[in-house]
Amino acid sequence: MPRPQKRLAGAAGPDKKGLSVKRTKTKNSDETSGHKENSSPQVTPDLKNCGQNLKNYWLMKSEPESRLEKGVDVKFSIEDLKAQPEQIACWDGVRNYQARNFLKAMKLDDEAFFYHSNCKEPGIAGLTKIVKEAYPDHTQFQKNNPYYDPSSKEDSPKWFMVDVQFVRIMKRFISLAELKTYHQAHKASGGPLKNMALFTRQRLSVQSLTQEEFDFILSLEDKEPS
């Protein structure tokens, strides 16, 4: 895959000169996140699991296919992340309060699934880790950026981002359809994916996972697709 184009000159976040930026908002699709995410401020019960000294697990959605948002291509795949210098990119463009709160709860070395959304075959494509905790998202202040927010001020920013680093491609792609099959079965049996946010809070571009959910999904790599 080609490297993603830099969205704006000088768009790097603090301490990451030239760091590629990452778009996370997605248009409505049949599987995941809505283009207009709910913007009501809230702190959800999921955050109670994000202890200061405990490792947390996440699912982060990105679009692997080209799509223009106000003239800017928001495409960014796991292969694009792998191609970055040091295989690191900032995860910008989140404009949903619940997803933002999850970003602010992330800790160094937390693990996250890189989820391909709004595409022909959505699903989990790879693994990443958090290498820089939440700091202000520069795109909220840039008037020619698709995610500019005139209500946000530099001395009191509303939106934050983290830096993620490529870990590896999944041994096999774990599709949304496969995950949905397990979710439906686990709702009846009480299995690990019974309450997975991918199905209960579909529009969120950043979602928390329990360790049980994370471990179960990892175990699917070594199984034939259901």
pLDDT 10s digits, 199-209? 999 999 999 99
Calculate what percentage of the chain has a pLDDT beyond 90.
73
Across residues 135-146, what is the average pLDDT? Answer: 95
Q: What confidence tens digit (pLDDT) does each residue in 75-130 have?
A: 999 999 999 999 999 999 999 999 999 999 999 999 999 999 999 999 999 999 99
Enter the tokens of residue 206. 């950043």
Give DSSP secondary structure letters for the chain: -PPPPPSSTT---TT-TTPPEE-------SSS--SS--------GGGGG--TTS--EEEEEE--S--EETTEE----HHHHHTSGGGEEEE-----HHHHHHHHH--TT-EEEEEE-SSSS-EEEEEEEEEEEEEE-GGGG-TTSTT--TT-BTTB---EEEEEEEEEEEEEEEEHHHHHHHHHHHHHHT-TTTT-HHHHSTT-SEEEE-HHHHHHHHHGGGS---
The pLDDT assigned to 53 comes to 59
The pLDDT score that the predictor gives to residue 49 is 55
pLDDT, residue 100, reads 98
What is the spatial distance between Cα 161 and Cα 198, in angstroms, rounded to a whole number?
A: 21
Q: Which residues contact 149 (CB under 8 A, 6 or more apart)?
A: 95, 140, 158, 159
- Whole-number Å distance between alpha carbons of 122 and 85: 26
Which residue shows structure tokens 């409505």? 28
Question: Residue ranges of the domains in the chain?
Answer: 21-27+51-173+201-212
Share of the chain above pLDDT 70, in %: 76
Number of other residues whose CB lies within 10 A of the CB of residue 185: 13
* pLDDT band, residue 54 (cuts 50/70/90): confident
Q: Which residue has the higher pLDDT, 220 or 35?
A: 220
* Mean pLDDT, the chain, whole residue set: 84
Q: Which residue has the tokens 């930026």?
A: 21
Give pLDDT tens digits for 2-26: 333 333 222 333 344 345 565 544 4
Q: Of the spans 8-12, 70-74, 186-190, which averages the highest pLDDT?
A: 186-190
What's the pTM value of the predicted model, to 2 decimals? 0.81
Q: What pLDDT does 38 receive?
A: 46
Return the pLDDT at 40.
46
Contact present, 59 and 197 (Cβ < 8 Å): yes
Phi-psi region of 214 (alpha: psi -120 to 50; beta: other; left: phi over 0): alpha
CATH tag, 21-27+51-173+201-212: 3.10.590.10
Q: Report whether 111 contacts 127 (CB < 8 A).
A: yes
